Amino acid sequence: MIGLVYWQETAIKLAVILGVIPVTSLILVYLFLFKMMAFMQSRLGPMITGPHGTLQLIAEAIKFLQKEDIHPDNADKHVFALAPIVVLMSTFLLYVILPAGPDLIVEDLDVGIFYALAVSSLSALGVLMAGWASANKYALLGGLRAAGQLIAYELPLVLATMGVIIQAETMSLQGIVHAQANFSIFGLDSGMPFIFTQIVGFAIFMIAAQAELTQTPFDMPVAETELVGGFHIEYTGFRFLLFFMAEFGTAFAFAAIASVLFLGGWSLPFVDPNENWLNFVGPGVMLFKILILAAIIFWVRFTVPRLREDQLQKFAWKVLIPVSLVNIAVTGLIKVAV
């Protein structure tokens, strides 16, 4: 790197991340929520605002900025106002450890993946605050459902990453990328993403991430047909937009974490991960992998009908958690034996 002092470097990183988060939300919402969903339902989606409706979300954001900020009479004012900030903060902090190239990372924490999981569960707190402070029966039901769901699927999510950590012997996300670039099976010297050895972990991680993001089929907390809007029923205007942005920002971050853990992150096969030019190609490679994983998440969202609350809890506790514990044991066994 060029000789920058810490404060200058941090300021640049902060500026980049402040730009990246809205852009990622824009890309995901436009590509998947507007266009892919529309095409899957034989519609065109937004077409008027900008070429093929590309500026639609910006128009929506400006609309939300102009809406009245209504706080219900009975709501707990301070908690009500604070809840969307907590949720957005959890999303924002996730971006600190996402790598996009050999040197392109805000802070390569030693406990990277542990930090990511810890920070992402902050959003459960924000959702519970929103549900409780609204003083609305639908919101309370939605908030409780969300909390129950987020904690139930937090466990398979955490346990599914364990197989990768055992293989990589590190929790740092950059370390995991390097471990995959240097990992070889079948005598191939090209580097091997962990999806080949951790396919079970990958499946569990993606299912749990779907639930953590409260996307259909796990969207009972915000189910329109039964709870109107769930925990964000009382939010209007910009505070609602914060929840919305956090949802898509987190979806992007989870897809990024999954692509680092299982698809090799920014590294390319047959390329030494220390090559300097990967700093330029890396972000593109990451974006490509993230969009593939996000496409899977939203494809499932638009195709599968909603589960019932009891089916959801049963699936987490009786299927995903035992399977992921067995996955850890088997991975550890192979690691020690080989």
- Report the site for other proteins in 1-40 (rule: CB under 8 A): 6, 10, 13-14, 17-18
Rounded alpha-carbon distances, angstroms, from residue 229 to 8, 130, 138, 161, 301: 43, 12, 8, 32, 17
Helical H runs in 48-188?
Answer: 56-65, 77-94, 112-120, 122-133, 137-168, 173-181
At CA 172, angle to CA 167 and CA 173, rounded to 5? 85
CA-CA distance, 65 to 26, in Å (whole number)? Answer: 16
Q: Which of 46, 98, 86, 67 is nearest to 286 (CA)?
A: 98
User: Is it true that the peptide bond before 217 is cis, omega within 30 degrees of 0?
Assistant: yes
Neighbour count for residue 249 (Cβ, 10 Å): 23
Q: Which of 24, 25, 123, 134 binds other proteins (CB under 8 A)?
A: 134
* Smallest separation (angstroms) from other proteins to the CB of 69: 6
Instruction: Considering only residues 249 through 308, tell me which ones interact with other proteins, judged by CB under 8 A.
Output: none
At CA 88, angle to CA 87 and CA 89, rounded to 5? 90
* Smallest separation (angstroms) from other proteins to the CB of 143: 9
Backbone conformation region of residue 46, classed left if phi is above 0, alpha if psi is from -120 to 50, else beta: beta
CA-CA distance, 30 to 264, in Å (whole number)? Answer: 26
Nearer to other proteins, 7 or 270 (CB): 7
Nearer to other proteins, 64 or 299 (CB): 64
CA-CA distance, 173 to 108, in Å (whole number)? Answer: 7
Q: Which of 253, 264, 262, 257 is nearest to 327 (CA)?
A: 262
* Smallest separation (angstroms) from other proteins to the CB of 240: 11
Which range, of 104-112, 180-188, 197-205, 268-276, touches other proteins by CB under 8 A?
Answer: 104-112
Which range, of 61-69, 190-198, 255-263, 292-300, touches other proteins by CB under 8 A?
Answer: 61-69
Looking at residue 184, its amino acid is S
Residue 152 near residue 316 (C-beta atoms within 8 A):
yes
Site string for other proteins, 168-187 (x = CB under 8 A): -xxx----------------
Q: Which of 234, 248, 264, 289 binds other proteins (CB under 8 A)?
A: 234
Q: Which of 33, 165, 204, 206 binds other proteins (CB under 8 A)?
A: 165
Q: Which of 68, 185, 187, 225 binds other proteins (CB under 8 A)?
A: 68
Looking at residue 201, its amino acid is G
Q: Which of 28, 57, 83, 162 binds other proteins (CB under 8 A)?
A: 162
* Smallest separation (angstroms) from other proteins to the CB of 281: 25
* Smallest separation (angstroms) from other proteins to the CB of 195: 18
| Binding of other proteins by 93 (CB under 8 A) | yes
Q: Which of 33, 57, 129, 159 binds other proteins (CB under 8 A)?
A: 159
* Smallest separation (angstroms) from other proteins to the CB of 185: 17
Q: Which of 29, 83, 88, 260 binds other proteins (CB under 8 A)?
A: 88
